[in-house]
Structure formats: structure tokens, C-alpha cells
Amino acid sequence: MPILGVVASQNYTRGITVDYLVVAGGGGGGRAGGGGSGGLRCTVTSTGGGGTLETALSCALSTNFTVTIGGGGAGTDADGAAGSLGGDSIFSSITSKGGSGGNGGGANNPVTATGGSGGGGSFGNPSSSLPAGAGTANQGYAGGAGLLGGGGGGGGGANNVGSDAVNLGTPEGGNGGNGVATSITGSSVTYAGGGGGAAHQIFTKNGGAGGTGGGGQGKGLGATSSAGTTNLGGGGGGSHGSGGKNGGSGVVILKYPDTKTATFSGGVTQSTATSGGFKISTITAAGVSDTVSFA
């Protein structure tokens, strides 16, 4: 008698490979230091903090993955208080940290918060410079030191450290650190520049320039600094007298085969383009958590 075989059904979980850019919100500028940029993690072209290019994620189909866009931190004109941290941005297991705020001035008030990139230091120390906020490894760099009578330090960027303030040069405030360029969308765009530091009590002197990639311009007494650029994760510029400005919100960009479709649960704003055999979804609404699945 023949032996009847039993055929077991098997379920295979198939997935796709997803490249990503995850940029957090930039830190708010202070009345001295510029805000640090949001942390940047990327699998295409280059990544933040001088790190090794990240590895694309293998994502199972019909599975929900978290997507969160970090908002920019609030700037401040308060003496002795730093601007606010930017919000973290998240895709699945990848988290980029929000930038730390620029220092607000006042004696003996170092920036203590660590961000994706660090905020610039104060100009209020009566003896020497005040240190800046630290960056996060493989995401961004530290801010520049502030200097008594010389201005606030520039906020760190994803590509380099914010500049220290100077005593007699122009600008007096330190320049923000530059951001990182990536071609994940098909064209090169620079993200996550640090905010420029404020000039100390001198209207005719300029503050530090914002770093490339959305960093806000710093200004002197009575002049208005610039906010970090929305969806680039730039740090807010510092300003002594009119107040530091807000950091720019972050962004998440996903690149995956054009044979697949991404479905978002509805909480974020997103747009999807097709190029060179891939779909590229850009997610921009700040402060909202959502999920994405692929099919």
C-alpha cells in the first residue's frame, strides 16, 4: 500500500530593503549661542557626525513601522536659559536625536544638554569662555564655545563643529556648523546645519552665519536672527536682545522599489515621487507619530 505523504503549508515572510534619511528637529537659539542641528542618519551618499554610512533596513511586508517627525525647539531671550531641544525623528528602529538649544547668556551657565548636534556656548562667563553642548556620535557635532564680550558660539551641524566666538572679528558670534548633503531624493540636498551665535551687545557687529543645510543666521543687539529651516532640521540663530529663534523641524525620507506601495496611517503629511526604479516618500508633518507599511 502506498504511503500517503503529508504536504505542510509554509508561510514565507517576504520583505523589501528601504533606504532612509532621518533628520531630527533643530535646537532653538538662545540670546547667545546658536541652536544645534537635529541629528542626521542616512544610508545614501553620507551620514551625520562623520560616521560610517548606515545600512538600509529590511522591512517585512504588511507590517507597521513607526514614523515620527521631530519639531524644532523653541528659541529664547531669557538670560541664563538655553533654547529648547528639538524633537527626535524616528523610522522603525532608527532614531535621530533633536538638536540642543543655544545658551542664553549669563555667568556660569554652560550648555548641559546633549543633542543630535550641540548648541553654542554663552558669552556671559566673567572669566573665560563657556563650553557648548555636545553632539551625538554618528549623528552630529558639538557647538562652538562662547566668549566674554565676543559673542555666542555657533551651534553644531551634522557635518562639523560649530565655530567658537571671537573677540574682535566680524562676525563676533561663531558660525553654525555645516550640514550633510545626500542624494536620496535623486538630487543633492543639504540638511542639518547649526544656527549662528549672537554678537554681544553691539548692533553694528554681525552674528555668526547659519551652517549650510538650514541653520539660522545669528544677530547682534536689537537685530532679528533667523529660524532654522523647516524640514531641514537646522538650528535656530541666536540674538542678544530680540531673542534666539526656533529650530527647523526634521524630515524622514524613504526610498524603496517602485513595485511596492507604502501606506501611511494618516497622521503625517507625505508625498511620494517615482524615479529610476524607486519610489521616494518624503514625510514632513512635525510632532505627529504615524505608521507606514509596505505591500
Whether 66 and 291 have beta carbons less than 8 Å apart is answered as: yes
**Would the pLDDT of 166 be above 90?**
no
So what's the pLDDT on residue 9? 34
Amino acid at 120: G
Structure confidence at residue 10 as a pLDDT band (50, 70, 90): very low
Q: Where are the domains of the chain?
A: 18-256
**Would the pLDDT of 3 be above 70?**
no
Q: Identify which of 77, 87, 97, 155 has the alpha carbon closest to the alpha carbon of residue 121.
A: 155
Judged by phi (left if over 0) then psi (alpha if -120 to 50, else beta), residue 183 lies in alpha
Whether 110 and 103 have beta carbons less than 8 Å apart is answered as: yes
Cis preceding linkage at 126, omega within 30: no
Would you list the DSSP string of 86-100?
PPPEEETTEEEPPPP
Amino acid at 79: D
Identify the residue with better confidence: 120 or 203: 120
CA pair distance 221, 214, nearest whole angstrom:
22
CA pair distance 93, 291, nearest whole angstrom:
13
What pTM was estimated for this model as a whole? Answer: 0.92
CA pair distance 105, 118, nearest whole angstrom:
16
CA pair distance 57, 43, nearest whole angstrom:
9
**Any idea which residue has 531624493 for its cell?**
185
